[in-house]
Structure 1
Amino acid sequence: MTLDVPVVLAPMAGITNTAYRRLCAEYGAGLYVSEMITSRALVERTRESMRLIRFHPSETTRSVQLYGVDPATVEAAVTMLREEDRADHVDLNFGCPVPKVTRKGGGSALPWKLDLFRDIVERAVRAAGPLPLTVKMRKGIDADHLTYLEAGRIAEGVGVASIALHARTAAEFYSGHADWSAIARLKEAVTDVPVLGNGDIWSAEDAVRMMAETGCDGVVVGRGCLGRPWLFGDLAAAFGSGERPPLPSLGDVARAFRRHAELLVDFFGDDPDGGMHRGCRDIRKHVAWYFKGYGVGGALRAQLAQVESLEQLDGLLAQLDHDQPYPGEAAEGQRGRAGTPKSPALPDRWLESRTLDTAGREHLAGAELDSSGG
């Protein structure tokens, strides 16, 4: 798989559905990955998991991220995607720091068990066949239990197409600053496949600087694009693929927000509650991100966060000063909740061994029982 620019949209639960992927692609170039999908839910073909692997015809590269802890289930999910021609690329999630995931031994806790990690990745690569299969992971569980170098070498050895590293531990969640030096160390350790860096890319300049400082082959952008789909236009220009777009006025932001809402209504069109209801409810959480730093009154922001129809949304957006220029630094920097460092939730006695014992297998047995699809 060859990308026009070395940029990947990071999978984000509740964010990177078809609507947002299409919107980002309208502004720039790169690889746009689905929300994280639970392998068991996909194998069981739950309604929500099947919705999450639905791609619009304009999405020429169908990229799916899977989460799983059972090698056989992950293998079956990858096989399904390949045999039914539902994906062009599969990514495996070993980076999620959420307690309900790590408590069961999944996400960023899983690579601690080297045998389990190897088994999952090796079987997934084999099941993917000609489809490129990649992995995304974190530095480790905490500063005393790092896993990324060993996991990176294992993944390289069993034939993954690339490795992405979020340069934080699970304990750090999204707090503090990403340790870009870890990306450089992984790049030195893994020499046969591309290494992608993730963490604290808030601008195109950050992406260029990360590649220059670490030697990584590309970047994965997550929270930095929340409410800023045009960041992918900036990134494309920074990597030499087109002219850099002008800084967005409030009118530009309003049009992007409206387009996002429209795409969400379309995406949820077959929902039992109705596409208009689900789409407008979903766009509400994006209000603070889109209008960060712009002069939008609190009362209007509150109304936007309670919008119920596109018609109502149009009326509210018409009240904005569309000529208001880009506010500069106030609109830049960190987005999304950073959280605070904390001891990761782990299965009992998880850290006592690097291999999976009987007790560990019992913990994993319930890790994929949530079949919500994400």
Structure 2
Amino acid sequence: MTIAPETTETPVLPPLVIGKHVVETPVVLAPMAGVTNTAFRRLCREQGEGLFVAEMVTSRALVERNEESLRIVSFEDFETPRSAQVYGVDPATVGAAVKIIAGEDRADHIDLNFGCPVPKVTRKGGGSALPWKTELFKRIVDAAVTAAAPYDVPVTIKMRKGIDSDHITYLEAGQIAEQLGVAAVALHARTAAEHYSGIADWAAIRELKQAVTTIPVLGNGDIWSAEDALRMVEETGCDGVVVGRGCQGRPWLFADLTAAFAGRSERVRPGLRYVADTIYRHGEYMVDFFGDEGRGLRDLRKHMAWYLKGYAVGGEARNGLALVDSLKDLREKLDRLDLEAPYPGEAAEGQRGRAGSPKRPHLPEGWLDSRELSDEFRKKLEEAELSISGG
């Protein structure tokens, strides 16, 4: 690993304040299904500072006390503050779920997900489709804030610009959330229709920052490096950034972000040995998290392509690492790599995962006809509370 020379300058942004919690580096790790479990969050925390949010859980599953969902909102001692994300479409259920988390002291901060573009959710009117129904959005946010207030647990929201370019909701939703007492709002600067395609519309983040003036506004979308984060802050005036796909296979991005927001120039540029050691440590943490070596290593496999992006390790080695089934197997296969290989430069940078293409949002029939919620839709919305994450 190589690190650029350090300089001492004035911090780029002040700490991020979420309720009573002060986050020294204004960076948030976005929940990603099957990625941001305790093992990965532990790796990221070892590298840098920020607010590290757990994988999303559905409000219905929490109220039903689903074992896996309760495990997701169970945190390790090293996690401070403890941040949970909840998804739901029924105000009473969301309120009950928030009361479980806050009342049982399971988390210090709760985020509401209104950014999910997954068809299974939006076709029922949930996720990024939901803010279109203004009254329902108000009731859900109000239920969460009200349920959390007695326990002094702050509630934040994450959302998208809207459903598509003709049905934009983010400015109104941000102002409603501000009025109802949320602690911060985060905007993924794409619509549901754009999914992860194209270029995020950072101008929308600037507009939201101008419209929401009493709480922090966080920007999300296309942050692949510390320089991207600095540029987003400069162009939009946002109070912090939310990082999702950019840290997949690169937990050291948080070291870069911590340095950048403190006004320092050092950046992590890992050679293959550093990457291999990180992969192995990730594997150990996965085994600890799942309590099962086989399951932990199977879950690690999907991270391999992200970790090895840009490194000349060969197809056979990549395929082998994508099939590891034990820590011994993992160590042996990593040791066969050319561990003296240096950082490959731009080949290891940039977008992680598939951007895909714009998609026509899957919505209930007639969903866009009115911003009011009909009785028929109200009955169907409960079906949207699925074990689905995204944003």
Same fold (TM > 0.5): yes
Structure 2 match to 1:104: 124
Structure 2 match to 1:366: 383
1:325 aligns with 2:342: yes
Offset, 1:244: 2.5
Residue identity matched to 1:6 = P
The separation in 1 between residues aligned to 2:90 and 2:357, in whole angstroms, is: 30
Alpha-carbon distance change, 373 to 164 in structure 1, aligned in 2, over 3 angstroms: closer
List gaps (5 residues or longer) in structure 2.
1-20
Structure 1 match to 2:273: 251
Q: What TM-score comes out, normalization by structure 2 length? A: 0.92
1:160 aligns with 2:193: no
Q: What TM-score comes out, normalization by structure 1 length? A: 0.96
User: What's the Cα RMSD here?
Assistant: 1.3
1:53-132 matches, cutoff 5 A? 53-129=73-149, 130-132=152-154
Structure 1 match to 2:66: 46
- Equivalent position SS for 2:22: coil
The separation in 2 between residues aligned to 1:246 and 1:78, in whole angstroms, is: 38
List gaps (5 residues or longer) in structure 1.
270-274
Bigger relative contact order, structure 1 or 2 (CA pairs below 8 A, ≥6 apart): 2
CA contact (8 A) 2:247 2:253 kept: yes
Residue identity matched to 2:33 = A
Structure 1 match to 2:360: 343
1:140-155 matches, cutoff 5 A? 140-155=162-177
1:281 aligns with 2:301: no
The separation in 2 between residues aligned to 1:291 and 1:136, in whole angstroms, is: 30
Structure 2 match to 1:272: none
Alpha-carbon distance change, 17 to 125 in structure 1, aligned in 2, over 3 angstroms: same
1:216-295 matches, cutoff 5 A? 216-240=238-262, 244-269=266-291, 275-295=292-312
2:37 to 4, 14, 17: 17
CA contact (8 A) 2:38 2:54 kept: yes
Identity %: 66
CA contact (8 A) 1:46 1:371 kept: no
Offset, 1:365: 2.7
- Equivalent position SS for 1:219: strand
Alpha-carbon distance change, 15 to 371 in structure 1, aligned in 2, over 3 angstroms: closer
- Equivalent position SS for 2:52: strand
Offset, 1:304: 0.3
CA contact (8 A) 2:109 2:155 kept: yes
- Equivalent position SS for 1:92: strand
- Equivalent position SS for 2:296: helix
* Structure 1 stretches of 4+ moved >6 Å: none
Offset, 1:158: 0.2
2:371 to 354, 358, 363: 354
CA contact (8 A) 2:252 2:268 kept: no
1:180 to 169, 190, 202: 202
CA contact (8 A) 1:268 1:278 kept: yes
- Equivalent position SS for 1:229: coil
